[in-house]
Structure 1
């Protein structure tokens, strides 16, 4: 229970820190073309976005940005096992996946599971170190730190692809 309280406190602090920036981001978007207030979300056009991120601040920022862009967060997960369980449930249109997760976990199994199900995903990383496995190759990258426009431009081709046809599964050989 103590850990839950600490996690909630961290999340609350992250949102308090993010709130002024998010308000400025919303105001900037409101004046730009294509602004769509979240309370008027077009459910037919809205996509389900899985967020795989172990940093609470970044996860909450991504969730807010997904909402601003008119989509819904299917789930926020910070561990490989939780991500694989959520992917198995289905209903995910696109994902944003951090490469390095909590306790040193690498998200390779998540990338493979998404690729196997033809779910397009954006690789969120502050700097990928090491050899990229086949499920990571050729994937668009959301470089940290990022802003709303970076996420929008990274997701746009993936969302367009989900509207047309599913992506071919990756051969992991």
Structure 2
């Protein structure tokens, strides 16, 4: 059931706790219901970015995914082991290596997306029109939450500009 819109918004810490829990639960359900053996969230995200943005170095991909290069290196090693990404030489810097999605990686991503969307569609068909409208109205807000520009990123950018 939908929460009724009150004149006074709830405390932000309550919204943060509830939103974190709800999004986490949805992501876990999508992952387990759609295909239990799929790539994990970090692997899927890295593969999606490579597929969308093109070849990237480990450091560039780590920056784009807001994680440490060491963590991205481990993710890429697993994806490479699974045959989902391959290495290619950097066109201008022989010291660097670019990672690119393979045909298998693109197919894994496509298959996973289809399965997750089918599961979500099946679930949403159980909701009434008001609930669907409320979800639709929340999408731009949720997108804004996921956009870059956090305080942490602002501090990191300021630190880089001083260096």
- Do Structure 1 and Structure 2 share a fold, with TM-score over 0.5? no
Name the one with the larger strand percent: 1
**Which fold has the larger relative contact order, with Cα–Cα distance below 8 Å and residues 6 or more apart in sequence?**
2
Give TM-score, length-normalised by structure 2.
0.27
Name the one with the larger helix percent: 2
Give TM-score, length-normalised by structure 1.
0.26
Rg (Cα) greater in structure: 2
